[in-house]
Amino acid sequence: MFNQFKNIDTAFRQVKLFSLMVIIASFGLAMYATYRSSSVINQAQQRVFILANGKVLEAWSADRKDNIPVEARDHVRMFHYYFFTLDPDDKVIQSNISKALYLADGTAKRQYDNLKETGYYSGLIAGNISQEIIIDSINISISDYPYQFNCHARQRIIRPTSVVVRSLVTTGLLRNVSRSDNNPHGFLIERWKTLENKDIKTENR
Give the pLDDT confidence of 20-67 residue by residue, as tens digits: 888 888 888 888 888 887 776 666 555 666 665 566 555 555 555 668
Nearest to 80 by CA among 170, 184, 157, 141: 170
Cα–Cα distance for residue pair 54/38, rounded to 1 Å: 32
Give the pLDDT confidence of 79-106 residue by residue, as tens digits: 999 999 999 999 999 999 999 999 999 9
Nearest to 137 by CA among 177, 165, 171: 171
**Computed over its alpha carbons, how large is the radius of gyration of the chain?**
32
Answer whether residue 202 shows pLDDT above 70: yes
What pLDDT score was predicted for residue 2? Answer: 46
What pLDDT score was predicted for residue 62? Answer: 54
- As a whole number, mean pLDDT of residues 76-81 equals 97
Nearest to 70 by CA among 191, 154, 160, 187: 187
Cα–Cα distance for residue pair 94/100, rounded to 1 Å: 10
- As a whole number, mean pLDDT of residues 153-175 equals 95
What pLDDT score was predicted for residue 8? Answer: 65
Per the rule left: phi > 0, alpha: psi between -120 and 50, beta: everything else, 191 is left
What pLDDT score was predicted for residue 45? Answer: 59
- As a whole number, mean pLDDT of residues 14-24 equals 81
Cα–Cα distance for residue pair 84/185, rounded to 1 Å: 20
CB 142 within 8 A of CB 64: no
Burial class from Cβ neighbours inside 10 Å (0-12, 13-18, 19+) for residue 28 reads: exposed
Answer whether residue 205 shows pLDDT above 70: yes
Portion of the chain with pLDDT greater than 90, in percent: 63
Whether the bond into 184 is cis, omega within 30 of 0: no
Q: Output the average pLDDT for the chain.
A: 86
Nearest to 83 by CA among 70, 98, 65, 73: 98
Answer whether residue 156 shows pLDDT above 70: yes
